[in-house]
Amino acid sequence: MITTIGVLGAGQMGNGIAHVFAQYGYKVILFDIAEAQLDKAVKTIGQNLERQAKKGAISEALVVDTLGRIKVTQAMEELGNVDFAVEAVTEHEPLKLEIFRKLDGIVKEGSILASNTSSIPITKIASATNRPDKVIGMHFMNPVPLMKLVEIIRGHATSDETFAQTSELVAKVQKEMAVSQDYPGFIVNRILMPMINEAVFALYEGIATAEDIDKGMKLGTNQPMGPLTLADFIGLDTCLAIMNVLYDGFKDPKYRPCPLLVKMVNAGYMGRKSGRGFYSY
Ligand SMILES: NC(=O)c1ccc[n+]([C@@H]2O[C@H](COP(=O)([O-])OP(=O)(O)OC[C@H]3O[C@@H](n4cnc5c(N)ncnc54)[C@H](O)[C@@H]3O)[C@@H](O)[C@H]2O)c1
């Protein structure tokens, strides 16, 4: 039975993942190498829970209980007894492989090791461990407490039992899953990023202004925001990195990143986080 969950990485995604598991009654051990990130994560989780309570979505008592179930640590060894681990450290392949190699030696036998990676093959991550059947992709969406979807990615060796236990966990935290095989971009980014990239091509070719491209897609296809606005939210560097994963992974020119996207990233226009992207903030 899963009662204690280890979360590795206390950044944007890690804090949301810890929040959600703790909210639904799991004990969480949140690990990061940076103390400042752990402090910031606990503060963010507290603020987000308070916001949920203010809206009436959860009780004040649950705010206190949830925070009480989260323990933070800078020592990976403290994850030895977790029943399930989710890794959400920086998206850098050598780092993830190293973390999984180490984690495999620390976490007790039988526990599942999941990764929240957006683009690194789960099969490759699994091969860094001696339990590839127990490794699976668990791709949460940002912001985790609000977004309903979790993409579940089955690596080449992921067992049916690992898949079943992970699916059960997704249901326990009241999320919905979409199941993907392990190919570049999985489901959502495979479809979303080429759409964003095509929107950048439309701007690059002078087909329309950024405002009209976004308005066309927002009102014409009933999306909550246009693709260029969304790209600014995600970060243009992240969009470019994912296009490159698709391009390199499939060796298919249809995934060629738009030269304008490349140029904007080179110029430091990363979107909202840098104050400038397709729009100014
Ligand atoms: N940001 C998103 O929208 C999003 C969405 C889905 C999935 N993801 C994936 O989630 C993962 C994390 O992304 P993020 O946006 O939260 O990044 P982030 O930069 O906000 O957080 C990464 C955290 O990892 C920590 N870290 C780095 N090296 C470490 C190590 N050796 N041991 C422990 N912790 C370490 C950092 O201190 C930091 O707190 C990535 O794999 C990313 O692809 C991100």
Can you tell me the distance from the alpha carbon of 207 to that of 213, in angstroms, rounded to the nearest whole number?
9
159 a catalytic residue: no
pLDDT tens for residues 207-245? 999 999 999 999 999 999 999 999 999 999 999 999 999
279 inside domain:
no
pLDDT of residue 49: 98
* Tokens matching residue 155: 């690596």
Please report the pLDDT score of residue 30 as a whole number: 98
Q: What pLDDT sits at residue 233? A: 95
Amino acid present at 134 = K
Predicted local distance difference test score (pLDDT) of residue 211: 98
Among 181, 203, 225, give the residue marking a domain's end. Answer: 181
Which of 89, 118, 146 should be mutated for ligand 1, with most atoms under 8 A from CB? 89
Does residue 170 share a domain with residue 117? yes
Q: Is the CB of 9 under 6 A from ligand 1?
A: yes
pLDDT at site 140: 98
Structural domain of residue 260, as residue ranges? 193-273
Contact (CB, 8 A) for 194 and 184: no
Q: Is residue 130 part of a domain?
A: yes
pLDDT band at 113 (very low <50, low <70, confident <90, very high): very high
Judgement on whether residues 90 and 114 belong to the same structural domain of the protein = yes
139 is catalytic: yes
> For residues 217 and 213, what is the distance between their CA atoms, to the nearest angstrom?
6
Q: Is 153 part of any domain?
A: yes
Task: Tell me the pLDDT band of 61, cut-offs 50, 70 and 90.
Answer: very high
CATH number at residue 114: 3.40.50.720
Note whether residue 186 is domain-resident: no
DSSP 73-96: ES-GGGGTT-SEEEE---S-HHHH
Mark whether 206 and 117 lie in a shared domain. no
pLDDT of 143 reads: 94
What is the model's pLDDT at position 32?
98
pLDDT (0 to 100) of residue 158: 98
Confidence at residue 267, expressed as pLDDT on a 0 to 100 scale: 98
The alpha carbon of 51 and the centre of ligand 1 are apart by a number of angstroms equal to 23
| Mean pLDDT rounded to a whole number for the chain | 97
Give me the number of domains the chain comprises.
Answer: 2
From 148, 181, 214, give the residue that closes a domain: 181
What residues are paired with 177 via a beta bridge? 150
